[in-house]
Structure 1
């Protein structure tokens, strides 16, 4: 399993796609946080990162599909998938190894953004006037959100040999899982189903963790969500084995 994990990670890092994808993510998030008038922290006037944590989920909808789209699609296109499944390793271990490798890349993309926290902490008046608990909770929420989106991306990549198609499917599923249930709940706002439907989507649980309070129900939700899509991935690849 570790061999598949290492192979997946280094194959991505050896290509320019990884650096371009992560570079674009950091550039766009930095521009939105510091320079664009509608989202700039300077115009907001408060030493907090709420704007950043509100924007990143939408950037994740493109960053993570770009990371995961090659996981299984490239294997199938190049014909190496047949060789991979003949190795002394279970299909579930292959899926989990690829998932963990992609999730680690998402973590690599998040780590440089810690400079935003440090900068705003220094710019606050007085210095250090920032709610660190809320920031920690929001970063944990982003990591859990990234884990959920990564499981979706792995699943989408297992459905096709075309990386572009895998990217499109993954981006659409990520957008729907994050926003779709909120919009759907508005249709039932007069029938007492609004709260129940919203609770199925990711957005409500992400917002809950971002407040700085870790609820075990939210943690169980993200773990269950990721596990479910990894199971779907195993089914999608196992049928072809």
Structure 2
């Protein structure tokens, strides 16, 4: 119940301002532009029905969008001095973290659910109605949700490190960017055989691509689950050792 109370508090604060509506609108407009307008990714330009451009661009949008959402989770509490009030309440660090983390996941869902309109539109526009790889699309949505939860955990951790939201945002963007493409980029610069493969497996990109092919492998699920839990644990350790 305490986790739900914190979850409600975060959601109410988010939707009591224009932030939520601007965030969701920005995500949908950006996805719409890449899907329908920009020549390099537009399905109208390529002439075949596919959501590949949406699922290729969405992770890059998440790298900036989710840190913008999560930067206030603890940074704002620290700046306003309200976390001390929360810390003296009969709630554990885990309950606070989970409440804020679940709020972040709900916000991710608020961003993703409206994109089903794009799926329906593309489904109808195909030369052969419904000629879409539904398995790959379902896997891509699962991958995008798991990627979003991992980025949310990173952003939440970054928010515990500073009372300055801009600093928390920049740190989260860097960590998300490196987790997404850093390991893959390093592996391309080296030729160490098995180590190259290991580096690729450390990054999110390979696991996301696997899910996007419609192959829901337990190894990919375990990877994202472990990655998310790791950063939530770091956030808990940071709160336990805080000196604000």
> What's the TM-score once normalised by structure 2's chain length?
0.96
Structure 1 position 72 matched with structure 2 position 58: no
What is the DSSP-based 3-state SS (H/G/I as helix, E as strand, rest coil) of the residue aligned with 1:72? helix
Shift of the alpha carbon at 1:190? 4.5
* Counterpart-to-counterpart distance in 2, 1:119 and 1:191: 44
In the other structure, the counterpart of 2:17 is 15
1:116 equivalent to 2:118? Answer yes
Cα RMSD of the aligned pairs, angstroms, is 1.0
Q: What is the distance in 1 between the residues matched to 2:192 and 2:155? A: 34
Alignment of 1:198-209 (within 5 A): 198-209=200-211
Give aligned pairs, total: 241
Q: Which residue of 1 aligns with 2:136?
A: 134
Q: Which runs of 4+ in 1 moved over 3 A?
A: none
Q: Does 1:170 align with 2:172?
A: yes
> Match of 2:228?
226
Q: CA deviation at 1:188?
A: 2.2
**Alignment equivalent of 1:155, drawn from 125, 148, 157:** 157
Residue 84 (structure 1) shift: 0.3
Q: TM-score, normalised by structure 1?
A: 0.98
**Superposed CA offset, 1:188-239 (max 9, x none):** 2244321110000000000000101100000000000000000000011111
Q: Unpaired segments of 5 or more residues in structure 2?
A: none
- Give, in whole Å, the separation in 2 of the partners of 1:226 and 1:191: 28
Alignment of 1:32-111 (within 5 A): 32-111=34-113
Structure-1 separation of matches of 2:10 and 2:188: 41
In 1, Cα distance between the equivalents of 2:136 and 2:193? Answer: 34
